[in-house]
Structure 1
């Protein structure tokens, strides 16, 4: 397998918002007398490539190759094209999009990437192990894609489409030779992450005429592209806007994305495509970026065209398999579980993103918060491992990490901190727990140690930490940064200790343990002050302080009753509603379910009044929102006065509620490789549960039916998985250990 270091481009000019450069096409025609036993090619396309052989698209997925900082890693894809070859003439075709090579988004430093250039590619072909040719033999021509930008839009002029350009029998004598391009400095790697694959196609569930065009509702938000079939006049120009919401049913808006992240010059270009018709039946499928949307608005068409056109929402995500499912007899929970699943899919394009329509960044904190529910719901450990390689590569010599990966220089000085940097610890540990594979820990261990030294250097004189982002997007109540950062530093040290022990790094584990002890002592002295004031005072006395301190072991056992009482008081002060941010959300439900009660936890989560998860369902939420904003109406009738920067309607970092349901309602608590504690907890809101999780050894399946004071459980245990039974508080069972195969357990309510 050859990773060619010779890169080539077409037009060497950089495409910008002011200067549109068509996406280049490349082709090479060659003859073979007989088809070899093996004909293999490797390709790297910077930024996005499409690969064709004899007119057939064979690209492994959408948006190939894997997105990375090309000064860190340069990813190649490998193809065996033998099945597509013929004796005689054969053609390899390549189309290139800009990807992140020329994005002008200034907020995350994309407009100053040192690798900014025209898109380029490296290619190598070999037959039966013998090198044949590289990218130097290709010829090039511009395409009908007259503009494309990763963060903005695409413009396609169907009149410029070149028929059969990637097939045999085509005259390419007028095409130009390729030009050499600079070789990126990153390490060359074969991409092993799952490719981005289509998982669903949806037709509109509703269409109506809006203020400026025709609006199509696909019924669900997601990430992907669209396929449009339409017939019109030659030169007719139409525009396609896509978004998660519609202003008062009249027109699509991306106003909710116009926060600090979008400049005026880009605001109207985000998710706004320009299409020019050829006069013949045309088909459009933009493929050089992706969009997050539920609604599409098409302007510049007639009523007749609106009725006759065909538009399909193509939803895609990394092509890993499902690893679990959860259902119960509470439809609010089922709908929220679907919101979590859909948000996960929307935001896993190569690696976990924050949102698919605004930033499209690999925010580390979002993944740290979501990784347990991601691993419960999807077989995504391999994709997470590849991303961890990029995270390790992004670590600076001083141990610091950026808040987004990939990046160049953005995110080190702002956008990171303990809760975000925790990704380096949380992901390897969870991968180990859920798969038994310790390769992620081995990869990250030296980087963990480097980070612990960096983290120690950020300690204040009092032993507290405050150098990162806070309890992100808190609802109503703000918790001081020194509280959440110090708690998360303690969590990092604890996770590091477990990781080091798991791979036999005993001295490092002892160092992490001593650091954890120091942090706990400082936090108790400066924040909890149990012997002086019986708990935190003033601004420190919040739901997040108590819930996170309880979960992460800052209280001693004898102090828990007092801490739980104070937590109850703060919950009551919040009106029995959500009163915390995303960091606390990761632990709040578990703490309340464990120490106060499942009914109380679900009452808060499923309250019909704002702020709660269930309240957002009344707005037609189909994916989790970035924040708990409130408005009257559904997603097709968002108020015109929607604030600028109303945030994204498709985020996943609140999604740990799914892990809470698996662990507490279904009782599936995976606490080590191949080890499960079956410990369900019961609520009056949920009487029946059916859940499963897929291990490498097989599928663990749980069915629970509660009838009054008894809960009848059927558990199917695969060979190689150890399951022990624990009874919830106030319930009892005779079962202790489950056997391979079918098991029945009955819990009886005491008293």
Structure 2
């Protein structure tokens, strides 16, 4: 995939469209920026896949032709290359507001050719915007926790306009501060949710493109934008650098008539703005609607001088309803509560058919678990509640600008609801499915399903830690889990979008925030923890570190945090390893260097007490760090436990990041930087060997210390044997249970495999006791928990999240060890299949759609069947034999 491309002279498209003997060969899954028919306004890259019933298909060359209204815009010519993903557009800048058709033609090593076409659209250039920012004049309660006494009604901006004749096309571009639904003549423009998505709003705000030609008619038309608070105005998620207090909208409708004339309808202050009967619709609190209440009288909005240079076309697919659940069981709790069980923890909301008398107040409460006696359990401080004041008419109710994490709902105040009147709607950013797993062990199958649901539930515009309590883009969770996510869904547009916000949020110093988009609450929290951390009485909990009224977070450099901030290097590298995406490495390289330089500078300037100054200058061993985080059995209030593991986490991760950056620079041909960062990494390793690895004190015997040292190759020779022996001793003494937190858990099974103890890895994986993966399954979990002990053996739940994807990283072990699939070249252009059958499964099947197509591994006791996609090769190891094969389906006995 990464081989150099050789370009031949351009020789006419038609001459390339010949077909040889392989007439079943065809191209499919054509994508631009890994999306179908997207709107783009920046870099453009192409990808495609090859299908054929023949074996050993290898792409020899490709050619891409891009055509617009004015003819050919770019012809790549014939390029000798196997590359079929992340092929960058290399032509002139494409005119804005236009549709383009592209044709890809591929020739194989056997001389066969096939072609296919797709389309994409360009968005608006800065000079194309005629619209004005229009802001509401209604008084608001911005950035406050909403309740019955504090309301922020959803707003309705409306205007009429006239269509004077038959249309050839009608395209709307729209965005807002807040979240919105676009409605044309009473119909929604599409079914997306939470537009314009969650980004680093002060530097990056997406707009959306809609084809609305089917919603317009000759004569009078009505445009409406329903606008809620969303992330921008929420007390927990208001982004750093954002100070607006009222929702604002921006829209531009580009009309082309059949006669070729054009007209633009845009936001200009002529709109009317009303408060709706949705009294609040808050991401954390929930929604309250009074169906007996009319909209308010209109107020004229005002024009505002808000920026346009931060606007970009939406770079990821939208949030949509992706699965619907019916009620599995109705429960009358011991307390007399009426509880509906959907059988699965999800992120989303409910649809309820109401038939209540006018004025009846119905309350819908959401929770992920019940208490041990089967009563409703409020696990979180956020209410997660909808309140509906009924109109007296039959109403199908679904909230619009909120979502919750739940499996159960409790409905109060309603008398006429039947089980079939209630459904649950799972919301998630739309992504293609890429993975599947099934084996003869039902508990492992359930664990895999738990992993998949936790991933879907927490990919809501950004990668969140949980869908109920914080809904924040914690960088450490992404660092831990990203590899598993890419084995199951098409994550490229999603992660590229999130990385755009991360690059925007990076400080000039190089510091990377702990949440992305960076929010004022967590920015303040980190600064305050860092200031208090080295004092005799450090902050112990959220009550000590959240801002008091009027308190400012200003002052001091934002620190980086080991294992969280490192995502700026770890994620792009992982994307490259698993998809072959070298373009993301190039895009992020300056930011990676800024971050690594901050680590190096911080280590050199701040002393942490090493025995030799020459060692200390290469150890990141000062400041606040979360450490391993959530090590089972080591929990303490607030952040008291952090220091117990930060002493090795920080220097270990500093080494890993700088060492990875050296490798990345080498891959990108930046030899000078590769030599510099490689030299620093070697000095960091020497300092760790001298000052950290031999260290013995009361916190020395954490499993994570030994696991990460082995995983990051920080130990050699006799010390490696000593560390492996100590890890084995700790595993035995812990009765083969998990003894690791966030940052070491991804490596525990792989490290045990690497030191030749497959048996111990499997004992840890299959252990039914707490803490362990199968303990959660045995306790009825349908998602991955935040804490291993979220539910006690007697069924008592903690007040904690039951939907965190981080520990779902075990699926990478399913993939790379149980199924034995490992990339030998980036993007699986060449890969190994060597299933580990020590686990004793009667059968196993793992599927994964890589950039080239489907990889499938299926085995029984004696037979292995492997599907290798076209344009790739696989090294198969089975029953003591090794064979390398090309594409096709192969059977081994």
TM over 0.5: yes
CA 185–19 in structure 1, closer or farther in 2 if over 3 Å, else same: farther
CA contact (8 A) 1:364 1:403 kept: yes
CA contact (8 A) 1:122 1:134 kept: yes
Cα deviations by residue, 1:678-699 (Å, 9 ceiling, x for unpaired): 2322223423211111123211
3-state secondary structure, aligned to 2:172: strand
Partner Cα distance (1:632, 1:489) in 2: 36
Partner Cα distance (2:420, 2:490) in 1: 37
CA contact (8 A) 1:332 1:606 kept: no
Q: Supply the RMSD in Å over aligned alpha carbons.
A: 2.3
Partner Cα distance (2:419, 2:887) in 1: 57
3-state secondary structure, aligned to 1:177: coil
Alignment partner of 1:296 is 2:427:
no
The 10-residue stretch of structure 1 (74-83 or 495-504) with the greater mean CA deviation from structure 2: 495-504
Report what 1:123 is aligned to: 251
CA 352–38 in structure 1, closer or farther in 2 if over 3 Å, else same: same
Q: CA deviation at 1:288?
A: 0.6
CA 662–31 in structure 1, closer or farther in 2 if over 3 Å, else same: same
Q: CA deviation at 1:5?
A: 6.0
Report what 1:261 is aligned to: none
Q: 1:42 aligns with which of 166, 173, 181?
A: 173
Report what 1:209 is aligned to: 332
Q: 1:480 aligns with which of 645, 649, 663?
A: 645
3-state secondary structure, aligned to 2:744: helix
Q: 2:136 aligns with which of 10, 33, 38?
A: 10
Alignment of 1:191-590 (within 5 A): 191-210=314-333, 211=335, 213-249=337-373, 251-254=375-378, 256-258=379-381, 267=382, 270-302=383-415, 305-307=416-418, 310-409=421-520, 410-411=522-523, 413=527, 417-459=561-603, 460=607, 461=613, 462=616, 463-466=618-621, 467=623, 468-477=625-634, 480-529=645-694, 538-557=698-717, 559-590=719-750
Partner Cα distance (1:658, 1:205) in 2: 28
Partner Cα distance (1:522, 1:505) in 2: 26
Q: CA deviation at 1:195?
A: 0.6
3-state secondary structure, aligned to 2:493: helix
Report what 1:166 is aligned to: none
Q: CA deviation at 1:647?
A: 1.8
Task: Looking at secondary structure, tell me which structure has more helix per residue.
Answer: 1
Q: CA deviation at 1:101?
A: 3.0
Partner Cα distance (2:849, 2:430) in 1: 16
Partner Cα distance (2:711, 2:619) in 1: 18
Alignment of 1:588-607 (within 5 A): 588-607=748-767
The 10-residue stretch of structure 1 (509-518 or 658-667) with the greater mean CA deviation from structure 2: 509-518
Partner Cα distance (1:406, 1:678) in 2: 38
Q: CA deviation at 1:292?
A: 0.8
3-state secondary structure, aligned to 1:539: coil
Q: CA deviation at 1:111?
A: 9.7
CA 558–499 in structure 1, closer or farther in 2 if over 3 Å, else same: same
Cα deviations by residue, 1:117-166 (Å, 9 ceiling, x for unpaired): 1222111111136433325232222212111222212101122367xxxx
Q: CA deviation at 1:115?
A: 2.1
Q: 1:99 aligns with which of 230, 237, 243?
A: 230
Task: For structure 2, list consecutive stretches of 5 or more residues without a partner in the other structure.
Answer: 1-123, 257-261, 530-558, 608-612, 635-640
The 10-residue stretch of structure 1 (16-25 or 654-663) with the greater mean CA deviation from structure 2: 16-25
CA contact (8 A) 1:11 1:24 kept: no
CA 371–676 in structure 1, closer or farther in 2 if over 3 Å, else same: same
Report what 2:271 is aligned to: 138
Partner Cα distance (1:392, 1:43) in 2: 24
3-state secondary structure, aligned to 1:475: coil
TM-score by length of 2: 0.75
The 10-residue stretch of structure 1 (342-351 or 610-619) with the greater mean CA deviation from structure 2: 610-619
CA contact (8 A) 1:103 1:111 kept: no
Q: CA deviation at 1:408?
A: 4.1
Q: CA deviation at 1:248?
A: 4.1
Partner Cα distance (2:774, 2:675) in 1: 44
3-state secondary structure, aligned to 1:546: helix
Partner Cα distance (2:473, 2:129) in 1: 26
Alignment of 1:698-737 (within 5 A): 698-707=853-862, 712-726=863-877, 732-733=880-881, 735-737=882-884
Partner Cα distance (2:560, 2:362) in 1: 41
Alignment of 1:156-171 (within 5 A): 156-160=289-293
Partner Cα distance (2:678, 2:189) in 1: 51
Cα deviations by residue, 1:518-551 (Å, 9 ceiling, x for unpaired): 111111111223xxxxx86652233111111111
CA contact (8 A) 1:389 1:443 kept: no
3-state secondary structure, aligned to 2:759: helix
3-state secondary structure, aligned to 1:402: coil
Q: CA deviation at 1:706?
A: 2.4
Partner Cα distance (1:299, 1:675) in 2: 58
Q: CA deviation at 1:498?
A: 2.3
Partner Cα distance (2:793, 2:631) in 1: 23
3-state secondary structure, aligned to 1:321: coil
Report what 1:648 is aligned to: 801
CA 488–222 in structure 1, closer or farther in 2 if over 3 Å, else same: same
CA 4–648 in structure 1, closer or farther in 2 if over 3 Å, else same: farther
Partner Cα distance (2:244, 2:777) in 1: 42
Q: 1:87 aligns with which of 210, 218, 225?
A: 218
Alignment of 1:660-699 (within 5 A): 660-671=813-824, 672-673=826-827, 674-699=829-854
TM-score by length of 1: 0.89
Cα deviations by residue, 1:473-500 (Å, 9 ceiling, x for unpaired): 0012575212112111111112212222
Alignment of 1:102-113 (within 5 A): 102-105=233-236, 110=238
Partner Cα distance (2:168, 2:739) in 1: 64
Partner Cα distance (2:206, 2:445) in 1: 39
Partner Cα distance (1:619, 1:233) in 2: 41
The 10-residue stretch of structure 1 (404-413 or 360-369) with the greater mean CA deviation from structure 2: 404-413
CA contact (8 A) 1:244 1:292 kept: yes
CA 117–309 in structure 1, closer or farther in 2 if over 3 Å, else same: farther
Partner Cα distance (1:561, 1:24) in 2: 65
Task: For structure 1, list consecutive stretches of 5 or more residues without a partner in the other structure.
Answer: 163-171, 259-266, 530-534, 747-751
Partner Cα distance (1:506, 1:58) in 2: 51
Q: CA deviation at 1:32?
A: 1.3
Q: CA deviation at 1:9?
A: 3.0
CA contact (8 A) 2:790 2:802 kept: no
Partner Cα distance (2:589, 2:839) in 1: 44
Alignment of 1:601-640 (within 5 A): 601-629=761-789, 631-632=791-792, 639=796
Cα deviations by residue, 1:203-243 (Å, 9 ceiling, x for unpaired): 11011234364111110001111111110110000111101
Q: 1:68 aligns with which of 179, 199, 205?
A: 199
Partner Cα distance (1:244, 1:3) in 2: 45
CA contact (8 A) 2:330 2:419 kept: no
CA 517–130 in structure 1, closer or farther in 2 if over 3 Å, else same: farther
CA 12–575 in structure 1, closer or farther in 2 if over 3 Å, else same: same
Q: What is the aligned length?
A: 700
